[in-house]
Amino acid sequence: MGRIVVVGSYNASLSIFSEALPSRGQTVLGSRLDIGPGGKGNNQAIGAHRLGADTAFVVKLGRDPFGATARAVLKAEGLPEQWIRDGEAATGVALIMVDAAGDNLISVAPGANSDLSAEEVIGLDGLFDGASHLLCQLECPLDLFTGVAARARAGALTTILNPAPAQRLPSDACRLVDVLTPNETELAVLAGRELLTDGDVIDAARELIGQGVREVVVTLGARGAIWVGPGSAQMFDAYQVAASDTTGAGDAFNAGLAAALAGGKDMPEAIDLGMRAGAFCATRQGVIGGLATAEQLDLEMPARARPAPPA
Protein backbone atom coordinates (compact mmCIF):
# COMPACT_ATOMS: atom_id res chain seq x y z
CA MET A 1 0.00 0.00 0.00
CA GLY A 2 1.42 3.36 -1.05
CA ARG A 3 0.81 6.76 0.47
CA ILE A 4 -1.03 9.67 -1.14
CA VAL A 5 0.04 13.28 -0.71
CA VAL A 6 -2.91 15.56 -1.48
CA VAL A 7 -1.98 19.21 -1.94
CA GLY A 8 -4.94 21.48 -2.45
CA SER A 9 -7.88 23.47 -1.27
CA TYR A 10 -10.31 23.65 1.60
CA ASN A 11 -13.46 25.71 1.10
CA ALA A 12 -16.31 26.20 3.50
CA SER A 13 -19.25 24.96 1.42
CA LEU A 14 -22.52 26.92 1.46
CA SER A 15 -25.13 25.01 -0.56
CA ILE A 16 -28.63 26.19 -1.43
CA PHE A 17 -31.08 23.57 -2.72
CA SER A 18 -33.95 24.71 -4.95
CA GLU A 19 -36.30 23.34 -7.59
CA ALA A 20 -34.40 25.02 -10.45
CA LEU A 21 -31.12 26.83 -10.97
CA PRO A 22 -31.41 30.57 -11.61
CA SER A 23 -30.70 32.06 -15.01
CA ARG A 24 -28.82 35.35 -15.41
CA GLY A 25 -30.49 38.06 -13.33
CA GLN A 26 -33.08 35.68 -11.87
CA THR A 27 -33.80 34.97 -8.20
CA VAL A 28 -35.19 31.58 -7.24
CA LEU A 29 -36.55 30.51 -3.87
CA GLY A 30 -34.52 27.71 -2.29
CA SER A 31 -35.73 25.02 0.06
CA ARG A 32 -32.78 24.92 2.46
CA LEU A 33 -29.18 25.95 3.15
CA ASP A 34 -26.42 23.52 4.11
CA ILE A 35 -23.08 24.75 5.48
CA GLY A 36 -20.23 22.30 5.73
CA PRO A 37 -16.66 21.43 4.76
CA GLY A 38 -15.69 21.34 1.10
CA GLY A 39 -13.03 22.22 -1.43
CA LYS A 40 -11.61 19.81 -3.95
CA GLY A 41 -8.43 19.07 -2.00
CA ASN A 42 -10.38 18.48 1.20
CA ASN A 43 -12.97 16.28 -0.50
CA GLN A 44 -10.38 14.18 -2.30
CA ALA A 45 -8.20 13.77 0.79
CA ILE A 46 -11.12 12.70 2.98
CA GLY A 47 -12.48 10.45 0.22
CA ALA A 48 -9.16 8.65 -0.27
CA HIS A 49 -8.64 8.28 3.48
CA ARG A 50 -12.12 6.82 3.99
CA LEU A 51 -11.35 4.27 1.28
CA GLY A 52 -8.37 3.10 3.29
CA ALA A 53 -5.51 5.02 1.70
CA ASP A 54 -2.72 6.40 3.88
CA THR A 55 -3.26 10.09 3.11
CA ALA A 56 -1.47 13.34 3.95
CA PHE A 57 -3.37 16.55 3.17
CA VAL A 58 -1.45 19.81 2.83
CA VAL A 59 -3.75 22.83 3.00
CA LYS A 60 -3.70 26.47 4.09
CA LEU A 61 -6.53 27.81 6.28
CA GLY A 62 -7.46 31.23 7.60
CA ARG A 63 -7.53 32.08 11.30
CA ASP A 64 -11.31 32.42 11.30
CA PRO A 65 -14.39 30.37 12.27
CA PHE A 66 -14.39 28.50 8.95
CA GLY A 67 -10.73 27.61 9.49
CA ALA A 68 -11.45 26.38 13.03
CA THR A 69 -14.23 24.18 11.65
CA ALA A 70 -11.89 22.81 8.99
CA ARG A 71 -9.29 21.82 11.57
CA ALA A 72 -11.93 20.06 13.64
CA VAL A 73 -13.26 18.20 10.60
CA LEU A 74 -9.83 17.03 9.46
CA LYS A 75 -8.92 15.91 12.97
CA ALA A 76 -12.17 13.97 13.27
CA GLU A 77 -11.45 12.26 9.93
CA GLY A 78 -8.05 11.16 11.20
CA LEU A 79 -5.98 13.20 8.73
CA PRO A 80 -2.66 14.33 10.26
CA GLU A 81 -2.74 17.89 11.59
CA GLN A 82 0.97 18.49 11.01
CA TRP A 83 0.42 19.34 7.32
CA ILE A 84 -2.14 22.12 7.96
CA ARG A 85 -0.69 25.60 7.30
CA ASP A 86 -1.94 28.84 8.87
CA GLY A 87 -2.70 31.68 6.45
CA GLU A 88 -3.29 35.40 6.80
CA ALA A 89 -6.16 35.47 4.28
CA ALA A 90 -9.65 34.18 5.04
CA THR A 91 -10.46 30.52 4.62
CA GLY A 92 -11.77 29.70 1.14
CA VAL A 93 -15.52 29.68 0.54
CA ALA A 94 -17.61 27.92 -2.13
CA LEU A 95 -21.17 29.02 -2.95
CA ILE A 96 -23.16 26.15 -4.48
CA MET A 97 -26.66 26.00 -5.95
CA VAL A 98 -28.27 22.59 -6.53
CA ASP A 99 -31.52 21.89 -8.40
CA ALA A 100 -34.05 19.08 -8.09
CA ALA A 101 -32.20 16.99 -10.70
CA GLY A 102 -28.96 17.19 -8.74
CA ASP A 103 -27.24 19.57 -11.18
CA ASN A 104 -25.27 22.47 -9.74
CA LEU A 105 -23.63 25.86 -10.19
CA ILE A 106 -20.53 26.70 -8.10
CA SER A 107 -18.52 29.86 -7.45
CA VAL A 108 -15.39 29.87 -5.26
CA ALA A 109 -13.54 32.60 -3.36
CA PRO A 110 -10.18 30.86 -2.79
CA GLY A 111 -8.87 33.02 0.07
CA ALA A 112 -5.97 31.30 1.87
CA ASN A 113 -5.83 28.58 -0.80
CA SER A 114 -4.16 31.09 -3.12
CA ASP A 115 -1.35 31.69 -0.64
CA LEU A 116 -0.10 28.10 -0.37
CA SER A 117 3.25 28.00 -2.21
CA ALA A 118 5.27 25.17 -3.69
CA GLU A 119 8.29 26.23 -1.64
CA GLU A 120 6.25 25.96 1.54
CA VAL A 121 5.04 22.46 0.67
CA ILE A 122 8.44 21.21 -0.49
CA GLY A 123 9.97 22.44 2.75
CA LEU A 124 7.72 20.26 4.94
CA ASP A 125 10.02 17.71 6.55
CA GLY A 126 8.97 14.12 5.93
CA LEU A 127 5.97 14.90 3.73
CA PHE A 128 7.11 12.74 0.83
CA ASP A 129 8.67 9.95 2.91
CA GLY A 130 7.11 6.68 1.79
CA ALA A 131 4.71 8.43 -0.58
CA SER A 132 3.78 6.88 -3.92
CA HIS A 133 1.25 9.35 -5.40
CA LEU A 134 0.67 13.10 -5.52
CA LEU A 135 -2.89 14.33 -6.09
CA CYS A 136 -3.54 18.00 -6.92
CA GLN A 137 -6.33 20.20 -8.28
CA LEU A 138 -6.50 23.77 -9.64
CA GLU A 139 -8.40 25.60 -6.89
CA CYS A 140 -4.87 26.63 -5.87
CA PRO A 141 -2.47 28.37 -8.28
CA LEU A 142 -1.03 26.33 -11.15
CA ASP A 143 2.54 27.07 -10.04
CA LEU A 144 1.78 25.26 -6.77
CA PHE A 145 1.16 22.11 -8.79
CA THR A 146 4.16 22.50 -11.08
CA GLY A 147 6.56 23.15 -8.20
CA VAL A 148 5.30 20.30 -6.03
CA ALA A 149 4.96 17.92 -8.99
CA ALA A 150 8.59 18.49 -9.94
CA ARG A 151 9.62 17.56 -6.39
CA ALA A 152 7.30 14.54 -6.46
CA ARG A 153 8.70 13.33 -9.78
CA ALA A 154 12.22 13.59 -8.36
CA GLY A 155 11.08 11.20 -5.63
CA ALA A 156 9.51 8.78 -8.15
CA LEU A 157 5.91 9.59 -7.14
CA THR A 158 3.10 9.25 -9.69
CA THR A 159 1.46 12.64 -10.24
CA ILE A 160 -2.31 12.97 -10.65
CA LEU A 161 -3.85 16.30 -11.63
CA ASN A 162 -7.58 16.95 -11.51
CA PRO A 163 -7.68 20.11 -13.69
CA ALA A 164 -10.60 21.81 -12.00
CA PRO A 165 -11.45 24.62 -12.26
CA ALA A 166 -10.15 24.17 -15.80
CA GLN A 167 -7.54 26.35 -17.46
CA ARG A 168 -5.22 25.90 -20.42
CA LEU A 169 -2.09 24.02 -19.37
CA PRO A 170 1.31 25.04 -20.69
CA SER A 171 3.54 22.26 -22.01
CA ASP A 172 5.86 22.41 -18.99
CA ALA A 173 2.88 21.63 -16.74
CA CYS A 174 1.68 18.83 -19.03
CA ARG A 175 5.08 17.16 -18.84
CA LEU A 176 4.69 16.88 -15.06
CA VAL A 177 1.34 15.03 -15.22
CA ASP A 178 1.24 11.25 -15.16
CA VAL A 179 -2.56 10.98 -14.91
CA LEU A 180 -4.88 13.85 -15.93
CA THR A 181 -8.52 13.55 -14.82
CA PRO A 182 -10.76 16.16 -16.48
CA ASN A 183 -14.48 15.92 -17.06
CA GLU A 184 -15.82 16.67 -20.55
CA THR A 185 -16.32 20.37 -19.86
CA GLU A 186 -12.84 20.75 -18.40
CA LEU A 187 -11.30 18.85 -21.30
CA ALA A 188 -12.97 21.26 -23.75
CA VAL A 189 -11.28 24.16 -21.93
CA LEU A 190 -7.93 22.37 -21.96
CA ALA A 191 -8.32 21.67 -25.68
CA GLY A 192 -9.65 25.13 -26.50
CA ARG A 193 -12.61 23.86 -28.53
CA GLU A 194 -16.04 22.27 -28.33
CA LEU A 195 -16.13 18.48 -28.01
CA LEU A 196 -19.25 16.99 -29.59
CA THR A 197 -18.51 13.26 -29.75
CA ASP A 198 -16.53 10.62 -27.89
CA GLY A 199 -14.13 10.72 -30.82
CA ASP A 200 -13.57 14.43 -30.15
CA VAL A 201 -12.89 13.59 -26.50
CA ILE A 202 -10.31 10.97 -27.44
CA ASP A 203 -8.64 13.30 -29.95
CA ALA A 204 -8.41 16.09 -27.36
CA ALA A 205 -6.95 13.70 -24.79
CA ARG A 206 -4.36 12.53 -27.30
CA GLU A 207 -3.39 16.14 -28.01
CA LEU A 208 -2.60 16.55 -24.31
CA ILE A 209 -0.60 13.33 -24.38
CA GLY A 210 1.30 14.82 -27.30
CA GLN A 211 2.14 17.77 -25.03
CA GLY A 212 3.61 15.51 -22.35
CA VAL A 213 0.75 14.09 -20.25
CA ARG A 214 1.25 10.35 -19.81
CA GLU A 215 -2.42 9.27 -19.77
CA VAL A 216 -5.84 10.89 -19.50
CA VAL A 217 -8.98 9.66 -17.73
CA VAL A 218 -12.02 11.68 -18.83
CA THR A 219 -15.17 11.43 -16.71
CA LEU A 220 -18.41 11.59 -18.71
CA GLY A 221 -21.05 11.79 -15.97
CA ALA A 222 -23.86 9.29 -16.49
CA ARG A 223 -22.06 7.93 -19.59
CA GLY A 224 -19.05 6.69 -17.63
CA ALA A 225 -15.40 7.42 -18.39
CA ILE A 226 -12.79 7.10 -21.15
CA TRP A 227 -9.18 6.10 -20.44
CA VAL A 228 -6.80 7.33 -23.12
CA GLY A 229 -3.17 6.31 -23.34
CA PRO A 230 -0.57 6.95 -26.05
CA GLY A 231 -1.86 4.13 -28.27
CA SER A 232 -5.26 3.05 -26.94
CA ALA A 233 -8.58 4.25 -25.61
CA GLN A 234 -11.07 2.33 -23.47
CA MET A 235 -14.64 3.20 -22.49
CA PHE A 236 -16.05 2.36 -19.04
CA ASP A 237 -19.79 2.31 -18.46
CA ALA A 238 -21.12 4.31 -15.51
CA TYR A 239 -22.89 2.83 -12.51
CA GLN A 240 -26.48 3.97 -12.99
CA VAL A 241 -28.06 5.68 -9.96
CA ALA A 242 -30.86 8.12 -9.18
CA ALA A 243 -28.80 11.27 -8.59
CA SER A 244 -29.70 13.49 -5.67
CA ASP A 245 -26.75 15.91 -5.81
CA THR A 246 -23.84 15.61 -8.24
CA THR A 247 -21.71 18.10 -6.27
CA GLY A 248 -18.51 16.33 -5.29
CA ALA A 249 -19.01 13.27 -7.49
CA GLY A 250 -15.88 14.18 -9.44
CA ASP A 251 -13.92 14.55 -6.21
CA ALA A 252 -15.16 11.16 -5.06
CA PHE A 253 -14.04 9.70 -8.41
CA ASN A 254 -10.55 11.14 -8.02
CA ALA A 255 -10.34 9.90 -4.44
CA GLY A 256 -11.27 6.38 -5.53
CA LEU A 257 -8.90 6.43 -8.47
CA ALA A 258 -5.96 7.61 -6.34
CA ALA A 259 -6.74 5.23 -3.48
CA ALA A 260 -6.85 2.26 -5.84
CA LEU A 261 -3.61 3.20 -7.61
CA ALA A 262 -1.86 3.73 -4.29
CA GLY A 263 -3.14 0.32 -3.24
CA GLY A 264 -1.42 -1.31 -6.20
CA LYS A 265 -4.45 -1.70 -8.48
CA ASP A 266 -4.10 -1.25 -12.22
CA MET A 267 -5.83 1.58 -14.09
CA PRO A 268 -9.02 -0.29 -15.11
CA GLU A 269 -9.57 -1.33 -11.47
CA ALA A 270 -8.81 2.21 -10.31
CA ILE A 271 -11.30 3.73 -12.75
CA ASP A 272 -13.93 1.24 -11.63
CA LEU A 273 -13.44 2.16 -7.96
CA GLY A 274 -13.55 5.85 -8.90
CA MET A 275 -16.85 5.40 -10.73
CA ARG A 276 -18.34 3.46 -7.83
CA ALA A 277 -17.30 6.21 -5.41
CA GLY A 278 -18.63 8.95 -7.72
CA ALA A 279 -21.95 7.18 -8.23
CA PHE A 280 -22.35 6.66 -4.48
CA CYS A 281 -21.64 10.35 -3.86
CA ALA A 282 -24.30 11.43 -6.37
CA THR A 283 -26.97 9.59 -4.36
CA ARG A 284 -26.36 11.82 -1.31
CA GLN A 285 -27.04 15.51 -0.76
CA GLY A 286 -23.87 17.27 0.31
CA VAL A 287 -20.35 16.13 -0.43
CA ILE A 288 -18.86 14.91 2.85
CA GLY A 289 -21.77 12.58 3.54
CA GLY A 290 -21.34 11.22 0.03
CA LEU A 291 -17.71 10.17 0.44
CA ALA A 292 -17.98 6.45 0.98
CA THR A 293 -15.97 3.94 2.93
CA ALA A 294 -14.96 0.72 1.21
CA GLU A 295 -17.57 -1.10 3.27
CA GLN A 296 -20.34 1.27 2.13
CA LEU A 297 -19.36 0.78 -1.50
CA ASP A 298 -19.32 -2.99 -1.15
CA LEU A 299 -22.82 -2.84 0.35
CA GLU A 300 -24.48 -0.23 -1.87
CA MET A 301 -22.34 -0.09 -5.03
CA PRO A 302 -20.70 -3.52 -5.44
CA ALA A 303 -18.05 -3.84 -8.11
CA ARG A 304 -18.87 -5.30 -11.47
CA ALA A 305 -16.75 -7.97 -13.11
CA ARG A 306 -13.28 -6.68 -13.95
CA PRO A 307 -13.33 -4.65 -17.20
CA ALA A 308 -11.65 -6.30 -20.16
CA PRO A 309 -8.21 -4.97 -21.10
CA PRO A 310 -8.05 -2.52 -24.04
CA ALA A 311 -7.61 -3.97 -27.50
Q: Do residues 134 and 254 make contact, with C-beta atoms less than 8 angstroms apart?
A: no
251 is catalytic: yes
Best CA proximity match to 42, nearest among 100, 101, 116, 153: 116
Q: What is the DSSP string of the chain?
A: --EEEEE---EEEEEEEESS---TT----EEEEEEEEE-HHHHHHHHHHHTT-EEEEEEEEESSHHHHHHHHHHHHHT--GGGEEEESSPPEEEEEEE-TTS-EEEEEE-GGGGG--HHHHHTSTTTTTT--EEEEESSS-HHHHHHHHHHHHHTTPEEEEE--S-----HHHHTT-SEE--BHHHHHHHHTS---SHHHHHHHHHHHHHTT-SEEEEE-GGG-EEEE-SS-EEEEPPPP---S--TTHHHHHHHHHHHHHHTT--HHHHHHHHHHHHHHHHTSSSSGGG---HHHHHHHS---SPPPPP-
Indicate which residue of 251, 266, 272, 298 is catalytic. Answer: 251
Q: Do residues 127 and 148 make contact, with C-beta atoms less than 8 angstroms apart?
A: no
Best CA proximity match to 16, nearest among 121, 88, 104, 79: 104
Q: Exposed e or buried b for every residue in 245-272, given b needs 16+ CB within 10 A?
A: bbbbbbbbbbbbbbbbbbbeeebbbbbb
Which residues are part of the catalytic machinery? 251
